[in-house]
């Protein structure tokens, strides 16, 4: 009979036994969905667990269990006798649910290629009502060092995913808003277009009519269509979402 420690509670934390099953599933090359089915958990739970503990190549159930226990002890130590996750937020939101959502949000960013700490910083910024935080506020929110914040925001800034501005107290704030996302998408479209340009250069060098040139020309055409489509969709979305009704306009007409 499994012990209380090994018994999974619906919607509760992963057990050590479940983490061992995840390790075995990854070793077998199983997809997250199949691993999740085997342990009767949502796919998002398995994905988040793996991505926050080393990724598919580095995940180890015993280390993940140790890290989870360490985080739990650290949170409990912050408020003796009471987990900080259980404290109600000043705005009335469920703090534990918000933390879980931010983890899931960060996992999506990690799957798109962002480093873990950078993904956490971006998720933290997107889930603030102000849409901006100082370095100190971000460090407190994520419970990480100022150095980690500095590295994360430097990368986000270089990718056009955030912008910097000074508040009335001359403090630097890191900002995310609708225009930042638009600029990021447009930067992605330009980067994609560059792949098409280099592919077309290769086709010219290899000579028309050769299999290699034909392959590169097809890549260039495909990338051209994709990058143009991304840019066009971003422009259309920006226009629709940012256009406000004219003052006094009759919405019933």
Q: 85-130, pLDDT tens digit by residue?
A: 445 555 677 777 788 788 888 888 887 788 889 999 999 999 999 8
Rounded Cα–Cα distance for residues 139 and 160 (Å) = 21
Q: Which domain holds residue 21?
A: 16-86
Rounded Cα–Cα distance for residues 9 and 14 (Å) = 8
Buried b (16+ CB within 10 A) or exposed e, 105-138: bbbebbeeebebbbbbbbbbbbbeeebbbebebb
Confirm whether 161 is domain-assigned.
Answer: yes
Q: Which tokens in the block code for residue 104? A: 């899931």
Select from 119, 153, 176 the last residue of a domain. 176
181-205 pLDDT per residue, tens: 788 888 888 888 999 999 999 999 9
The single-letter DSSP state of residue 24 is H
Same domain for 184 and 214?
yes
Taking the model in full, what pTM does it have?
A: 0.59
Same domain for 169 and 99?
yes
Same domain for 160 and 220?
no
SS3 5: coil
Strands (E), the chain: 132-134, 163-166, 172-175
CB atoms within 10 A of CB 171: 12
Buried b (16+ CB within 10 A) or exposed e, 64-87: bbeebeeeeeebeeeeeeeeebee
Structural domains in the chain (count): 3
Same domain for 103 and 79?
no
Rounded Cα–Cα distance for residues 95 and 85 (Å) = 6
Confirm whether 170 is domain-assigned.
Answer: yes
Same domain for 189 and 128?
no
Mean pLDDT (10-residue bins), the chain, 253 residues: 41 85 92 92 87 81 84 63 49 77 83 85 91 93 90 90 89 87 84 92 91 95 94 91 63 47
């Amino acid at each position: 009979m499994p012990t209380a420690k090994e018994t999974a509670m619906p919607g509760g934390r992963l057990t050590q036994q479940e983490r061992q099953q995840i390790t075995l599933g990854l070793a077998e090359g199983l997809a997250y969905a199949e691993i999740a089915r085997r342990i009767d958990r949502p796919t998002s739970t398995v994905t988040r667990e793996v991505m926050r503990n080393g990724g598919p190549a580095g995940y180890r159930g015993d280390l993940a269990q140790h890290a989870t226990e360490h985080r739990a002890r650290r949170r409990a130590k912050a408020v003796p006798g009471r987990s900080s996750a259980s404290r109600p937020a000043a705005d009335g939101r469920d703090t534990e649910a918000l933390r879980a959502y931010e983890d899931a949000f960060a996992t999506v960013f990690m799957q798109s290629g962002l480093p873990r700490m950078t993904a956490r910083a971006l998720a933290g910024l997107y889930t603030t009502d102000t849409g901006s935080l100082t370095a100190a506020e971000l460090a407190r929110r994520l419970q990480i060092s100022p150095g980690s914040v500095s590295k994360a925001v430097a990368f986000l800034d270089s990718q056009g995913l955030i912008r910097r501005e000074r508040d009335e107290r001359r403090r630097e704030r890191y900002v995310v808003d609708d225009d930042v996302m638009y600029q990021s998408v447009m930067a992605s479209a330009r980067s994609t277009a560059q792949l098409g340009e280099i592919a077309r250069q290769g086709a010219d060098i290899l000579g028309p009519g050769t299999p290699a040139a034909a392959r590169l020309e097809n890549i260039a055409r495909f990338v051209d269509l994709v990058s143009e489509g991304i840019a066009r969709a971003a422009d259309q979305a920006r226009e629709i979402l940012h256009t406000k009704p004219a003052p006094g306009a009759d919405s019933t007409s």
